[in-house]
Structure 1
């Protein structure tokens, strides 16, 4: 058996300490360090249990809550759409080309806006209560092959329960 060096002993002590605290506190510490993954219903494929959802595994109809201001998003805090939520994914599309677009914001907006009325039921310029935002590739994720733009809608005034599809407002 090899003796543990100080950093390894510290890491082992930290894991044991966190585990002990988690047991004593009902696991809330571990849930904060390792948040649960969202679960999908086998039949409907809708989010059935809230948790973190890999941004590369989202689907149209997924709902999620805001999670601070971050320029890079790898996970979304997904929730069932039957629960109060901040955002709903209404459209996914891939940007064309091999080079990272200099006008990625304009291309992302154009793609999302083109589908806004079909989902909400009124043109974006007419809507007074619902807004949208795209989640788009970064230069780094583009280099790794990411081309997908995630189009999300939200009610400007409050959280939504259920879908905004056909809200026409």
Structure 2
């Protein structure tokens, strides 16, 4: 179990996710439109090392999440995808609120095996920006689990921790 209170834990994960995903979704998706990168082609079950993604985010032209085979060491795995249904982009704040609920609620519990508040595993997400919504018809919120400071092999599905 995490040593942080659930409120602090959720706030920290939200800040991490918000900073990471805005940078990745905005720049990366536009680069994908130009035929580069994998940002618009991520799938549930894809694995990566979050520090490698964060290093890639230091460049303003990020277009890839550096995926690894899940049989290799990694600390992050995409576990749920949701297509937003609104006609108009609901704004960054509303989109982040939806992503937070989708990725730390029942979908997390179903995947990991325990509720987010009880888990030592973190959740974060990538989501559409106004730019990707308009240019690429991007409506996907994709959630990932993360084990900070711990590398794993295989899936975290059913980890029950």
Which TM-score bucket, shorter chain as reference? 0.5 to 0.7
Query: 1:149 Cα deviation (Å)?
Result: 0.8
Distance 2:149 2:54 in 1: 18
Which one has the largest radius of gyration?
1
Q: Which runs of 5+ in 2 are unaligned?
A: 1-35
Tell me the TM-score normalised to structure 2 length.
Answer: 0.66
* Equivalent of 1:68 in 51, 54, 69: 54
Count how many residue pairs are aligned between Structure 1 and Structure 2: 117
Greater helix share, structure number: 2
Matched, 1:152 2:138: no
Deviation, 1:137, is 0.8
Work out which of the residue numbers 107, 110, 113 in structure 1 matches 2:98. Answer: 107
DSSP-derived class of the 1:133 partner: strand
The two structures, once aligned, show a CA RMSD in angstroms of 2.0
Residues 117-149 of structure 1, C-alpha deviations (whole Å, 9 max, x = no match): 00000010111x200001011110011210001
- Kept in 2: contact 1:133–1:153 (CA 8 A): yes
Q: Which has the higher contact order (CA 8 A, sep 6+)?
A: 2
Say which SS state the counterpart of residue 125 (structure 1) adopts. Answer: helix
What is the deviation of 1:159? Answer: 1.7
Match of 1:86 in 2: 75
Of the candidates 84, 100, 106, which is equivalent to residue 95 of structure 1?
Answer: 84
| Unaligned segments of structure 1, at least 5 residues | 1-51
* Equivalent runs, 1:4-153 vs 2, <5 Å: 54-66=38-50, 67-68=53-54, 70=57, 74-102=63-91, 103-113=94-104, 114-127=106-119, 129-144=120-135, 145-153=137-145
Q: Deviations over 1:26-72 (max 9, x none)?
A: xxxxxxxxxxxxxxxxxxxxxxxxxx961221211110122226388
Partner of 1:20 in structure 2? none
Whole-Å Cα distance in 1 between the matches of residues 117 and 142 of structure 2?
20
